[in-house]
Amino acid sequence: MTPEPEALTPLGWDEGFAESWTAALDDLDHRWRDLARPARVVRVDRGVCTVLGGDGEQRARVSLPATVRQSTEGQPAVGDWAAVAPAEAGDELASLVGLLPRRSAFTRRAAGRETVEQVVASNIDVVFVVVPLTGRQRLRTIERYLAVAWQSGAQPVIVLTKADLCPDVAEAVQEVESVAFGVPVVPLSVRLGEGIEALYEHLLPGRTVSLVGASGVGKSTLVNHLYGKDRQATQEIRGDGKGRHTTTHRELVPMPDGSLLIDTPGMRALGAWDIEEGLQQAFGDVEQLADECRFGDCTHQGEPGCAVNAAVDAGDLSGDRVANWEKLQREQQRLELQQDSRARAEEHKRIRARQRALNRRPHR
Q: 177: Cβ–Cβ under 8 A, 6 or more apart, which residues?
A: 185
User: 39 vs 212, which CB is nearer to Mg ion?
Assistant: 212
The residue range among 95-103, 245-253, 309-317, 319-327 that interacts with ligand GTP, by the rule CB under 6 A, is 245-253
Q: Which residue has its beta carbon closest to ligand GTP?
A: 266
- Determine, following the binding rule CB under 6 A, whether residue 236 of this chain makes contact with ligand GTP: yes
Distance CA 34, CA 214 (A): 43
Select from 3, 187, 216, 271 the one that contacts ligand GTP (CB under 6 A).
216
CA dihedral 64, 70, 71, 76 (to 10 degrees): 40
- Determine, following the binding rule CB under 6 A, whether residue 26 of this chain makes contact with ligand GTP: no
Nearest distance from residue 229's CB to Mg ion, in Å? 16
The residue range among 45-53, 154-162, 241-249, 267-275 that interacts with Mg ion, by the rule CB under 5 A, is 241-249
User: For residue 175, how many other CB atoms are within 10 A of its CB?
Assistant: 16
CA 353, chain centre distance (Å): 35
# of chain residues touching Mg ion (CB under 5 A) = 4
Pair type for strands 260-263 and 251-254: antiparallel
Nearest distance from residue 88's CB to Mg ion, in Å? 36
Beta-bridge mates of residue 253: 261
- Determine, following the binding rule CB under 6 A, whether residue 245 of this chain makes contact with ligand GTP: yes
Region for 213 from its dihedrals, namely left if φ exceeds 0, alpha if ψ lies in -120 to 50, beta otherwise: left
The partner in contact with residue 324, picked from ligand GTP, Mg ion, none with C-beta cut-offs of 5 to 8 angstroms by kind, is: none
Q: 297: Cβ–Cβ under 8 A, 6 or more apart, which residues?
A: none
* AA identity, residue 106: F
Nearest partner of 294 among 306, 312, 285, 310, judged by Cα: 306
- Determine, following the binding rule CB under 6 A, whether residue 237 of this chain makes contact with ligand GTP: yes
Contact 8, 53 (CB under 8 A): yes
Nearest distance from residue 177's CB to ligand GTP, in Å? 20
Nearest distance from residue 190's CB to ligand GTP, in Å? 4
- Determine, following the binding rule CB under 5 A, whether residue 247 of this chain makes contact with Mg ion: yes
* AA identity, residue 286: V
- Within positions 133 to 162, which residues make up the interface with ligand GTP, using CB under 6 A? 161-162
User: For residue 240, how many other CB atoms are within 10 A of its CB?
Assistant: 5
The residue range among 50-58, 172-180, 213-221, 269-277 that interacts with ligand GTP, by the rule CB under 6 A, is 213-221
Distance CA 83, CA 131 (A): 36
- Determine, following the binding rule CB under 6 A, whether residue 210 of this chain makes contact with ligand GTP: no
- Determine, following the binding rule CB under 6 A, whether residue 173 of this chain makes contact with ligand GTP: no
Contact 196, 251 (CB under 8 A): no
Give me the DSSP letters along 314-335. TTSS-HHHHHHHHHHHHHHHHH
- Within positions 264 to 303, which residues make up the interface with ligand GTP, using CB under 6 A? 265-266
User: 33 vs 245, which CB is nearer to Mg ion?
Assistant: 245
- Determine, following the binding rule CB under 6 A, whether residue 208 of this chain makes contact with ligand GTP: no
Residues that bind ligand GTP (CB under 6 A): 161-162, 164-165, 189-191, 215-221, 234-237, 243-247, 265-266
